[in-house]
Structure 1
Amino acid sequence: MTQLIVNSPSASHVKPLIQAALDHEIRLLQMGIEKTKRRLRHFEELFKIETLNFYQAFQAGDMGDEVECMKWAGEYETLLQFEEDFAQIRGIQVC
């Protein structure tokens, strides 16, 4: 867990603002994760393959360079980044 220590004469006012900003960012990331997962399901239905299997083949150069494959890979990479950011921010404790 990451601790964010607020050292200020107005810490009692600043801490809730920081926590509210973190909570807002968490909500935005959750929405982004859900939206990205919906997009990935669309690609999975379209190509009849799970995203992880697709991405492994894509990384190996076995999926070609179609625009749709590029979009799919980009969506998956976006999901990975959102999930990483979510985990990091969710682990912050404001002290």
Structure 2
Amino acid sequence: MAKISGLLKDELAGDVDLKAMPVRQFIGMTVKAVLATEGYEVMETGVRIADDPVFRSGATYRPSTNTAEPDDLLARFVSVLNVDELRYVQQLVKAAL
């Protein structure tokens, strides 16, 4: 059984139809988002879950192996500007604020 199924049944069974596909999809997306903010990434999807009261399949997670900095397009753009262009961008930013 998936660890979350027991918790969901205890907390929501009387209020929410846990067998409804949109509900299960929402739960899956929520779990994925929460785990991503905690530094986890999907390891495998479509994992069959036997004898589970809520889910037939799920995903497994692992600590994120992506340690690279995110690709920041704006930072790369600014890094190639000369001094005059940077001053112009500074004026644009001040005017926008």
Judge same fold: TM > 0.5, yes or no: no
- Greater strand content: 2
Please give the TM-score of this superposition, normalised by the length of structure 1. 0.27
- Mark the structure with the bigger radius of gyration: 2
Instruction: Say which structure, 1 or 2, has more relative contact order (CA 8 Å, 6+ apart).
Output: 1
- Greater helix content: 1
Please give the TM-score of this superposition, normalised by the length of structure 2. 0.27
